[in-house]
Amino acid sequence: MFAEVVLSKTTPKLDKIYHYKIPAELEKKLTIGHQVLIPFGNRKAVGYVVGFVNQTEVPASQLKDILEIKTETPLFKPEALKLAKWMTEYYGCYFISALRAVMPPGTAQREKLKK
């Protein structure tokens, strides 16, 4: 199984879902809504788990592992994720912008403080 992750900072080219392998030690802990630390290019980035899939178009050998879960509890529920997806389609906004609208207040501020 693979995690679908959205980056916390994005641009029009990066506003999409990325797939990551789930390390064995995180398999039972990781759920939709968790904030995670992921390798992205030659740096580490913060992202949010928005789903799980059994197969990807990219070969599994080319996918990277999630490094760690940054939050103890999920920051949004599947119902809120559904609303965020609708907002993205209806208003044409970035997916992360819609997700932030359904997350607890101050989540973006906490991201900056953790860095």
Q: Name the H helices within the chain.
A: 78-91, 95-102, 107-114
Work out the burial of residue 86: count CB atoms within 10 Å of its CB; fewer than 13 is exposed, 13-18 middle, 19 or more buried: exposed
Cα dihedral value 60, 11, 113, 17, nearest 10? -30
Q: Which domains does the chain have, with CATH numbers?
A: 2-114 (3.40.1440.60)
Which pLDDT band, with edges at 50, 70 and 90, does 107 fall under?
confident
pLDDT digits (tens, 9 = 90+) for 32-61: 999 999 999 999 999 999 999 999 999 989
- Which amino acid is it at 72? E
The pLDDT value recorded for residue 111 is 66
